[in-house]
Chains A and B, each alone.
Chain A
């Protein structure tokens, strides 16, 4: 099971080095830091390396007494605070916490019906637009008033106007005349009656090919896979292959499905709905075999995954399944939990109230006597 979150893994490389430095400092400062200080980053039997240490404001140190060591502290580092909205000490960052922006209890307001919300940036609540919306007029009172994905006057960016016969679709100005050929609005005239007609079984007609009108072409879904389509000739079978269902020419001529796969709507698939031979390693609904569904709680800061044909559960970001019980998903945020700081089982208990900040136990500089 992929227990630790991504952060936990990324920390692995540098935790030991920083932690070692701190512990060395503690080792040479026995009197300044009581015996309890040696338990900084104490880990349970199954835990990984001890976490590195976060320093609080260095200005508090008495520089007359050298060398300077690091001692555990219950003081929060600069910019950090303990607020009621979070159960852990020093877990609130006033610069970025939407519930405590600039101070405890200063929640950024919720904007209704304006395609926007507010978020805490550098300690101030700022406008944050939904998905494709944007604040083109710069007026906060009407929120993010423009949908850049579908606004003909602001298509993809503020002020970008779509030309005539075009409509803004997914941030792009797209020609509205679906049967244009070569240029938007250039609709092909009916084929010249003098052109030869094709037998119905050829599945062919005249159409737009390479921006040119009234060229011989196959009907949609058909292909000339034996390359004998000669519009002026009388032999051959035209566009003989129905590429939406032919397992030897699935989707296009020459695209053969693997043994056991069917061609359905131009896609090679197993009957279970997945590509038998290409995707069973990663399909969480068909993991290792058709219908084998990878399960796990939704909304538990993690998700079930199919990892090379075997189901697993992967935690998101800094979350981890420290209690090894998937019934509650990845319940632990190892960034601010003093009992699981930087990794499951790594405890911040150097002093009472020692906090975990950004996955590290808090310390302050102290002098060695």
Chain B
């Protein structure tokens, strides 16, 4: 396996506006989400100025919905930029990436945009960045065009140092990066041609070539990864017609029973098992924790596999309140899970049912697609999408 790793330094120009916030008008009296007696119906009264909460100190927000989802004009997301992923290590270290080489960083007070333009192709381009993951501020992984971009932390727009792992441009591209601790899984797909591997496990950025899993399908899969535990990852493979009649497969990757990583912590033996998602639809969203693993995707399709039912290897069908395509999942336990999707869709799981939440876009003719969600805590959730960003601050819906 041949890779090319470079370390280089980039002059970064601050492009992001850090202008004055557009505060939400609010009575600030209620932390409750609007009642939703019918889980299948959205609250229609978005953009109600007097229903929006006050922004908390340090966060600049725009118009809010009654569910306390507020736009973030201070992030200065360009309308033509499609943000694809958001992740962070804490409330004051949040990253968002997207098309046209877009990298945004939030330090708890302001968003800034890195201009990755530079003298080499690796330094910057109009490539689409499709995934960002970090657990610590000094270990940030970004799926960037044909490779993986890494930094040891945001040191300000002009001082951030990048290194890059290049894959050949005539091979599949990284679509998802997720990890825990020193173990990071990378999914590669989308390419119309050859794909030497679709799932690779890196034991740290400075480690050698990844441990790879044999490809399970066509190279053009869109691959999403979740890593609920240090000894377990899930990979959701979705194909679009007409390239494959098989629309979806899901794999569980886990440290082989009996190994536990104890015998050789550096290179534990991982095994691969296929589970039944009970759908052929594309499922680009996967997330899990100690309670369950969830999938979400086209047509509002939702699936869950409780830990207690893991031996069945078969996901449970869970009804949802929307028919829009869902794109991402993130949660904070058995009773607090978010999913986002096309046409400004945001839904929330309270442990019993999914409820559609109001957003600031509910009255818009052209609602932006929302494609990623992450939060540092139940009271601090970020959602990104096509030319937009939302911030939730409050009690769990």
A residues adjacent to B (C-beta < 8 A): 1, 3, 9, 12-13, 45-46, 259-260, 270-272, 276-278, 280-281, 285, 287-293, 295-298, 304, 307-310, 323-327, 344-345
- Are B324 and A277 touching (Cβ within 8 A)? no
Provided the pairs A12-B365, A325-B299 are in contact, do residues A290 and B170 lie with their beta carbons within 8 angstroms? yes
CB-CB contacts below 8 Å: B315-355 with A = 321-325, 342-343
- Are B343 and A292 touching (Cβ within 8 A)? no
Closest 9 CB pairs of A and B: A288-B128, A260-B121, A309-B99, A324-B299, A309-B128, A293-B192, A295-B240, A290-B169, A45-B40
- Are A310 and B342 touching (Cβ within 8 A)? no
- Are B128 and A293 touching (Cβ within 8 A)? no
Measured between C-beta atoms, what is the minimum distance from B265 to chain A in Å?
35
- Are B241 and A290 touching (Cβ within 8 A)? no
**Chain A residues, Cβ within 8 Å of B241:** 295-297, 326-327
- Are B126 and A296 touching (Cβ within 8 A)? no
- Is B130 close to A, CB under 8 A? yes
- Partner pick for B127 among A1, A12, A289, A324, CB 8 A cutoff: A289
Measured between C-beta atoms, what is the minimum distance from A26 to chain B in Å?
21
Measured between C-beta atoms, what is the minimum distance from A204 to chain B in Å?
35
- Are B99 and A310 touching (Cβ within 8 A)? yes
- Partner pick for A297 among B121, B126, B242, B356, CB 8 A cutoff: B242
- Are B193 and A276 touching (Cβ within 8 A)? no
B residues adjacent to A (C-beta < 8 A): 38, 40-42, 80-82, 84, 98-100, 118-121, 123, 125-128, 130, 145-146, 169-173, 190-193, 220, 240-243, 247, 281-282, 298-300, 321-325, 342-343, 356, 365-366, 369
- Are B81 and A276 touching (Cβ within 8 A)? no
- Are A1 and B121 touching (Cβ within 8 A)? no
**Chain B residues, Cβ within 8 Å of A280:** 125-128
- Are B173 and A260 touching (Cβ within 8 A)? no
Beta-carbon nearest neighbor of B143 in chain A: A289
**Chain A residues, Cβ within 8 Å of B146:** 289-290
- Are A324 and B324 touching (Cβ within 8 A)? yes
Q: List 20 A-B contacts (CB under 8 A).
A: A45-B38, A45-B42, A46-B322, A259-B121, A270-B169, A281-B99, A285-B192, A287-B128, A288-B128, A288-B130, A289-B127, A289-B169, A289-B173, A295-B240, A296-B241, A304-B240, A308-B80, A309-B99, A324-B298, A345-B323
Q: How far is the CA of A325 from the CA of B192 in the complex (A)?
A: 22
- Are A309 and B121 touching (Cβ within 8 A)? no
Q: How far is the CA of A13 from the CA of B42 in the complex (A)?
A: 21
Beta-carbon nearest neighbor of B239 in chain A: A295
**Chain B residues, Cβ within 8 Å of A288:** 99, 127-128, 130, 145, 173
The CB with the most chain B CB atoms within 10 A, among A259, A287, A296, is that of A259
Q: A297-B241, A324-B324 are known contacts; what are 20 more A-B pairs with Cβ within 8 Å?
A: A1-B342, A3-B343, A9-B365, A9-B366, A45-B42, A45-B356, A272-B170, A278-B126, A281-B100, A289-B128, A289-B145, A293-B191, A295-B243, A296-B240, A304-B240, A307-B82, A309-B99, A309-B100, A326-B241, A344-B323
Q: How far is the CA of A324 from the CA of B322 in the complex (A)?
A: 11
- Are B84 and A310 touching (Cβ within 8 A)? yes
- Are B298 and A271 touching (Cβ within 8 A)? no
Provided the pairs A281-B126, A288-B130, A326-B241 are in contact, do residues A259 and B145 lie with their beta carbons within 8 angstroms? no
Measured between C-beta atoms, what is the minimum distance from A41 to chain B in Å?
16
Measured between C-beta atoms, what is the minimum distance from A69 to chain B in Å?
26
Q: How far is the CA of A324 from the CA of B173 in the complex (A)?
A: 26
- Are A298 and B121 touching (Cβ within 8 A)? no
**Chain A residues, Cβ within 8 Å of B99:** 281, 288, 308-310
Q: How far is the CA of A13 from the CA of B322 in the complex (A)?
A: 23
Q: How far is the CA of A270 from the CA of B353 in the complex (A)?
A: 49
Measured between C-beta atoms, what is the minimum distance from B130 to chain A in Å?
7
Q: How far is the CA of A249 from the CA of B193 in the complex (A)?
A: 32
Q: How far is the CA of A327 from the CA of B242 in the complex (A)?
A: 8
Q: How far is the CA of A324 from the CA of B283 in the complex (A)?
A: 13
- Are B299 and A323 touching (Cβ within 8 A)? yes
The CB with the most chain B CB atoms within 10 A, among A1, A271, A309, is that of A309
Beta-carbon nearest neighbor of B82 in chain A: A310
**Chain A residues, Cβ within 8 Å of B145:** 288-289
The CB with the most chain A CB atoms within 10 A, among B82, B118, B247, B282, is that of B82
- Partner pick for A326 among B82, B173, B220, B240, CB 8 A cutoff: B240
Beta-carbon nearest neighbor of B244 in chain A: A295
